[in-house]
Copies of this chain bind each other. A is one copy, B any other.
Amino acid sequence: MSATAPEHTTFESYNPPTRLLAGPGPSNVDPRVLEAMKKPLVSHLDPHFWDRLPILADMISAFYGRQDGVSMTLSMSGTSGMEAGLVNLVAPGETVIAASGGFFGNRIQEMVRRRGANLVALNVPFGRHVPNEEILAALEQHPEAVMVCVVHAETSTGVAHPVQELGEAMRALGSDALLYVDCVTAIGAMPIEADAWGIDYAYACSQKAIAAPPGLSPITLSTRAIERLGRDGMPVPYSMDIAELIKYWVDRPMTYHHTTPNLGYYALDEALCLGLQEGLQTRFDRHADAGAYIQAGFRERGFDLLADPSCQLAQLSAVCVPEGIDGKAIQGRLLNEFNIEVGGGLGPTAPPIWRVGMMGVNANRETADRVLAAFDQVLPNGAH
């Protein structure tokens, strides 16, 4: 047997550099969370681990403001969490209203199309959100719609969607449509009240304001969403089948669906513990303060922010690249000279922006100052 590798034959260990991850995520992992990953690996079917799962689920519920329903984590990225909600709750041919003002809203629309559903796409330019009135009008026009999709915190633009108002209005209308919410950049950084706002399905990721490593997608379902799982004849990919996962997480006795990545589960568990010990409101306030602080810093230097001020997220700022400046080159200098990662625009239709995240352990003024100081070095005149 050959077992020779084609081209790159060194096979020496990889040695990544130390970065301040001040982009749209992943953000730096809390060192206490990294410690948790050194704990002994037990298997996904170990009764000791099994006994911990309800606690992990409840902590995820706490971050989502869920008491009536089920929360768990998928062993996949947020991208899969996005898709899992669609393939479990929408049958091909059903109608879905999906609002987008950015890359991730667009991606939801693409996944709705791939599901073979009838997509009602509502779109606004990057930097705004689709007004709730337009969503409600679409719902009146399409009473057959089974789902309304919005992005609570659009990672590509720094825009917040008023989810609470939408959920309350949908309930007031007596709509049967499920409310599906992308909480990837929201969770752990700003309030989410799944029960009170009427969120039926939400997904997030581990690596932003939760401050765990990337790899997991915590999700939550309302009771009425759970009731729509496993409909007859509805094709669901097995590895994303939430009804099967509920057998593992909630129903007993012990069942097997897939091998869970338990070191990642330890990390998520510890990160959620730390968040609850800090207190979620304290954590939200910390993100609000850090975000307002760095945004003021950018504005003082003459930079514009992409998001309409009425819907600006704290934890993620999209800073407009001034005319005449090569945004990518600045990004490269911040990375190579200062070991600071900030994001650029995402996808071919994005305007020229830098995306600066203040999330998890990085949500503080000291980190903001470090990022602003690096910008001052590479752009001593600010936006001018």
Residue A236 is within 8 A (CB to CB) of chain B in the complex: yes
Partner of A239, one of B11, B18, B79: B79
Contact of A193 among B2, B80, B270 (CB under 8 A): B2
Per the 8 Å Cβ criterion, residues 122-161 of A in contact with B are none
A215 CB–B CB distance under 8 Å: yes
The answer to whether the Cβ of A259 comes within 8 Å of any Cβ in the partner chain is yes
Known A5-B59, A65-B3, A257-B79; judge A23-B43 contact (CB<8 A).
yes
Neighbouring B residues of A343 by C-beta, 8 Å: 45
Contact A237 B238 (CB under 8 A): no
Given contacts A75-B76, A79-B238, contact A273 B13 (CB under 8 A): yes
Do the beta carbons of A5 and B61 come within 8 Å of each other? yes
State whether the Cβ of A19 lies closer than 8 Å to any Cβ in chain B.
yes
Task: Give how many A residues have a beta carbon under 8 Å from the other chain's beta carbons.
Answer: 106
Pick from B4, B38, B76, B87: contact of A76, CB below 8 A. Answer: B76
Q: Which of B78, B260, B270 contacts A258 (CB 8 A)?
A: B78
Which of chain B's residues have a CB closer than 8 A to the CB of A52?
14, 16
With a cutoff of 8 Å between Cβ atoms, the chain B residues found around residue A80 in the complex are 76, 239, 258
Task: Identify which of residues 37-89 in chain A touch chain B, using a CB-to-CB cut-off of 8 Å.
Answer: 37-49, 52, 54-56, 58-59, 61-63, 65, 67, 75-80, 82-83, 87
Report Cα–Cα, A236/B110, bound state, in Å.
11
- Separation of A228 and B368 alpha carbons in the complex (Å): 48
Measured in the bound complex, the distance between the Cα atoms of B308 and A371 in whole Å is 64
Interface string of A340-384 (1 = CB under 8 A from B): 010100110000000000000000000000000000000000000
Please tell me if the beta carbons of A215 and B38 are within 8 angstroms of each other in the complex. Answer: no
Q: With the chains together, A221 CA to B61 CA distance in Å?
A: 39
B261 and A215 form a contact (CB under 8 A): yes
> What's the nearest-Cβ distance from chain B to residue A281, in Å?
6
Q: Which of A83-112 contact B (CB under 8 A)?
A: 83, 87, 107, 110-111
The residue among A8, A15, A56, A111 with the most chain B CB atoms within 10 A of its own CB is A8
Given contacts A40-B18, A259-B77, A273-B11, whether A235 and B6 have CB atoms under 8 Å apart is: no
Q: Are B34 and A38 in contact (CB under 8 A)?
A: yes
Q: How far is the CA of A55 from the CA of B13 in the complex (A)?
A: 10
Residues of chain B contacted by A87 (CB below 8 angstroms): 237
Copies in the complex: 2
CB distance from A334 to the nearest CB of B (A): 12
- Asked whether any CB of chain B lies closer than 8 Å to the CB of A191, the reply is yes
Q: Are B207 and A259 in contact (CB under 8 A)?
A: yes
Asked if A205 is at the interface (CB within 8 A of a chain B CB), the reply is yes
The 8 Å CB contact of A238, one of B42, B46, B114, is B114
| Beta-carbon nearest neighbor of A257 in chain B | B79
- Bound together, the chains give a CA A214 to CA B54 distance in angstroms of 21
Partner of A12, one of B13, B48, B115, B273: B273
23 A-B residue contacts at CB 8 Å?
A1-B191, A5-B62, A6-B61, A8-B54, A9-B58, A10-B55, A11-B59, A11-B277, A14-B56, A16-B266, A17-B42, A17-B48, A19-B43, A23-B43, A26-B43, A26-B44, A44-B214, A77-B258, A83-B238, A111-B238, A115-B235, A215-B263, A261-B261
The interface of chain A, by Cβ under 8 A from chain B, is 1-19, 21, 23, 25-26, 28-29, 34, 36-49, 52, 54-56, 58-59, 61-63, 65, 67, 75-80, 82-83, 87, 107, 110-111, 114-116, 191, 193, 196, 205, 207, 213-216, 235-240, 256-264, 266, 269-270, 272-273, 276-277, 279-281, 284, 335, 341, 343, 346-347
